[in-house]
Amino acid sequence: MVEKKIDVKNTIVEIDGDEMTRVMWKWVKDELLFPYLNMKVEYYDLGLPKRDETDDKITMEAANAIKKHIVGVKCATITPDKKRISEYKLKQEWKSPNATLRAALDGTIFRGPILVKNVPPAIRTWKKPIYIGRHAYGDVYKNQEIRVPGPGKGEIVFRPEKGDPVVLTIQDFKGPGILQGIHNTDASIKSFAKASFLFALDRKMPLWFSTKDTISKTYDGTFRALFQEVYDKEFKKQFEDAKLEYFYTLIDDAVARIIKSEGGMLWSIKNYDGDVMSDMLGSAFGSLAMMTSVLVSPSGYFEYEAAHGTVQKHYYKHQKGEKTSTNPMALIFAWTGGLRKRGELDNTPDVVDFANKLDAASIETIESGIMTKDLEQWANPSKSNKVVMSQDFIAAIKKNLDNKLKGKK
Ligand code: NAP
Ligand code: MG
């Protein structure tokens, strides 16, 4: 117990989710947050049943709430597919809530590993964290697709407000096939570039940026050119003063170099590349649950989330009454990320201090050998290693947190 709770001055938007992460989300709040904080939250239930009930309006309401209150914290949510339609008896296959939120807020998702001393990265050369900057707007996440039934001409058309349309043939189909149209905007790419340069400067890391502009000369070529333009105009001097490098290279070259690097860079990549590569990095640094994720919007909104999904298989066990050893670290760090930002914006150092202490208490729990099952096989072998169930893991963190808070005058 704590004698006096810490006041969080302004509202945090809380976005609840599904399955095992929803279950752990509540445990984290009940054990690690609400006993210590007077916190005003505006709650949005993005659990699939509520999205279905509100015809997904709740997702846009949550996005608007982040625009109003600036800081949001999000649990993992189900993106429905055919199986989920029958499982949840859905009215329709609702869109990915993450895609809706990202389209509404725009911006860049920064993902980085939560490093603990006793779980070394799978890649021997990595000594420092590698951050991913994932563009969160457009490309295949906001596309149109056609299942081509048979012979015919597939075209791409742009109709300007004034002047003649531009029409290009993609393929003369001789038989069935597939077609896809994607887009991006200069404004979003420039804000992606700006957010990346700012994040790199803030963390004192070099920025790597990579696309496939040798093949996609106009689409990816524009990403490359706009990054260079933003760098030359706004960041060159600051990077040189800070002795940091801006490095552009092809995506395949970057992949090969990252694996052999020491780490310690921000690697900005397009939306799909970031989706795939952040899972690879998260897992190579120990577990998908050992990764922080924040969406930074160009308008100055922040949404903190877990990078992993709802851990469906564990949830089915939980429903049968079995205890699971699911890792809540990413959920805890979503909350501490949101609290730290709230504290910075509100100028309340005690809130920032609480977030830092909770982070430290969580990391030290794992470093003391108490960990969830996902980490066990990667952790350095030690007699003090002990795999515990989620609730016992949270209880161990709470004990560490209490000790840290007592140490405060
Ligand atoms: P997932 O929930 O990330 O889980 C995949 C596997 O990774 C799990 O089965 C588990 O492995 C391991 N894992 C992930 N998080 C873990 C954690 N915190 N602790 C321990 N192990 C963890 O991905 P999924 O099963 O592909 O997707 C499930 C649902 O999540 C889908 O409906 C999908 O739409 C949704 N999803 C949501 C988000 C989001 O909202 N951010 C992101 C991705 C997916 P073991 O089973 O081997 O233990
Ligand atoms: Mg992914």
pLDDT tens for each residue of 144-173: 999 999 999 999 999 999 999 999 999 999
Q: What number is the average pLDDT over the span 310-323?
A: 97
Nearest CA to ligand 1 atom 16: 289
What pLDDT does residue 1 have?
53
What pLDDT does residue 408 have?
55
| 277: confidence class by pLDDT, cuts 50, 70, 90 | very high
Q: Where are the alpha helices (DSSP H) in 31-106?
A: 48-53, 57-69, 82-87, 97-105
Q: How many A from CA of 176 to the centre of ligand 2?
A: 29
Ligand 1 atom nearest to CA at 293: 41
The pLDDT tens digits of the residues spanning 208-261 come to 999 999 999 999 999 999 999 999 999 999 999 999 999 999 999 999 999 999
What pLDDT does residue 106 have?
80
The DSSP letter of residue 72 is: E
- Asked if 49 and 311 count as a contact pair (C-beta separation under 8 A), the reply is no
Flag whether pLDDT at 207 surpasses 90. Answer: yes
Ligand closest in space to the Cα of 307: 1
- Asked if 46 and 16 count as a contact pair (C-beta separation under 8 A), the reply is yes
What pLDDT does residue 409 have?
40
Q: What number is the average pLDDT over the span 10-32?
A: 98
Q: What is the DSSP string of 197-223?
A: HHHHHHHT--EEEE--TTTSTTHHHHH
Q: How many A from CA of 32 to the centre of ligand 2?
A: 27
Q: What number is the average pLDDT over the span 57-75?
A: 97
CB 13 less than 6 A from any atom of ligand 1: no
The pLDDT tens digits of the residues spanning 170-183 come to 999 999 999 999 99
The pLDDT tens digits of the residues spanning 100-125 come to 998 898 878 899 999 999 999 989 89
Instruction: Look up residue 366 and give its two tokens.
Output: 């794992």
> How are the residues of the chain apportioned to helix, strand and coil, as percentages rounded to the nearest 5?
45, 20, 35
Flag whether pLDDT at 60 surpasses 80. Answer: yes
Flag whether pLDDT at 375 surpasses 90. Answer: yes
CB 278 less than 6 A from any atom of ligand 1: no
CA separation, residue 204 to residues 41, 47, 235 (Å)? 33, 38, 13
Q: Which of 308, 313, 362, 366 to mutate to test the pocket of ligand 1 (most atoms within 8 A of CB)?
A: 308
Q: What number is the average pLDDT over the span 38-61?
A: 97
Flag whether pLDDT at 316 surpasses 80. Answer: yes
The average confidence (pLDDT) of the chain is 94
What pLDDT does residue 25 have?
98
Q: What number is the average pLDDT over the span 121-136?
A: 92
CB 283 less than 6 A from any atom of ligand 1: no
What pLDDT does residue 2 have?
59
- CA-based angle 297:303:308, to the nearest 5? 120
- Single pTM value for the model: 0.88
State the pairing for strand pair 207-210/266-269: parallel
